[in-house]
Amino acid sequence: MGMSLVEWVYEGSCVRVGFTSRVGGVSEPPYESLNLGSHVCDKPAAVHANRELLAQELAAPIAWMRQVHGSKVLPALLGNEPACDGLMLGSTMRRDAQSGSRGESDMPTAVFTRMRTPARAAAVMVADCAPVILAARDIPWACVLHVGRAGLLGGIVRRTLEDIVPHCTVEKSAGGLTSDDLVAVVGPCICGACYEVPEEMAVQAEKLQRGSTSLTSWATPSIDLRTGVHVQLRECGLSEILDLNRCTFEDERYFSHRRATREAGIGWGEGRTGRFVGIAQLLC
């Protein structure tokens, strides 16, 4: 059997969580080789082949999303790629989830429909943003979150834990999940020592989310995604956090948009690179 495409870093009784790297696929430079992003100008056939390789390793089809740097979380369904930044496995929502102050149109849509098949594996694509995965210890439930600067400051972690998790009903937990039921896994992302931003942006970020700013290793303002995520998790009562503490900008095992831009010597936002993923898979 060949090399595994996924480094599995957490396995509970019903959920496992892992991350891919750049290695093991068929994409050509600058996307070599396991690029799983379909939106980065790689050859569509190569991306499709890479996704098929990953699905074969999981022995399960994977739910994907079209990430938009927002805070919407949807059910993980097969056969579509919705515009959102979170996918939830293994749960329906109680009817009273729509009765809060937000109103039905503003609540995250999280009701499985008969039109689509609920997935048993879901992926979040990243290349500097933080992949954050919430997994239930003893229940078949998980949620994959894409947390970039906009998502962090928009409170996607907090919103998921406060507005979605309490309304989730799964087998053995009909009364709704709580933070005590969950483990959070924070995957590779750019660190505060490397994520340089303009000073005005850093000041505004700290106003919106304390702990979200830092200094780079060359003493300029930066965003600290990892610390900001930890603050939101702990503010919501989640105490068990597994953090790989790997920086995508520094660690060449992973795709990094900022590193690609620096190496190309071009303007910010113009570097080309692939996407690796965080994966959650239900086991029961």
Please indicate, yes or no, if residue 232 is contained in any of the structural domains: yes
Q: Where are the alpha helices (DSSP H) in the chain?
A: 44-58, 149-153, 156-159, 199-208, 225-235, 257-264
pLDDT for 167 equals: 81
The helix/strand/coil state of 127 is coil
Q: 3-state class of 282 per DSSP?
A: strand
Indicate the helix (H) or strand (E) that contains 168: strand 168-169
Residue 195 maps to a domain: yes
- Structural domain includes residue 2: no
Q: Flag whether 1 is in a domain.
A: no
Composition of the chain by helix, strand, coil, percent to 5: 25, 25, 50
β-partners of residue 73 are 86
Q: Residue 167 is part of a domain; what is its CATH number?
A: 3.60.140.10
**Structural domain boundaries, residue 40:** 7-282
Give the model's pLDDT for residue 109: 42
Query: Across the strands, what pairs with 136?
Result: 182
Q: Say if 125 falls within a structural domain.
A: yes
Element (H, E) at 182: strand 182-186
Taking residue 235's Cβ as centre, other Cβ atoms within 10 Å add up to 15
Tell me the residue type at 240.
E
Summarize pLDDT for 239-265 with one digit per residue, the tens. 999 999 999 999 999 999 999 988 876
Write down the H helix ranges in 128-224. Answer: 149-153, 156-159, 199-208
Distances (CA, A) of 182 to 31, 76, 84, 275: 34, 18, 22, 26
The answer to the question of residue 100 being in a domain is yes
Burial of 174 (C-beta count, 10 Å sphere; 0-12/13-18/19+):
exposed
Task: Confirm whether 111 is domain-assigned.
Answer: yes
Query: Judging by DSSP bridges, how do beta strands 182-186 and 241-243 pair with one another?
Result: parallel
User: CA quadruple 90, 11, 278, 6: dihedral positive or negative?
Assistant: negative
Residue 133 lies in a domain: yes
Sign, Cα dihedral of 242, 246, 153, 149: negative
Question: At residue 22, what are phi and psi to the nearest 5 degrees?
Answer: -80, -10
CA distance 93 to 99: 12
Number of structural domains, the chain? 1
CB 129 within 8 A of CB 144: no
Which regions of the chain are under pLDDT 50?
Answer: 1, 94-114, 268
DSSP-based three-state secondary structure for 13: coil
Query: What is the length of the chain?
Result: 284
DSSP state of 109: P
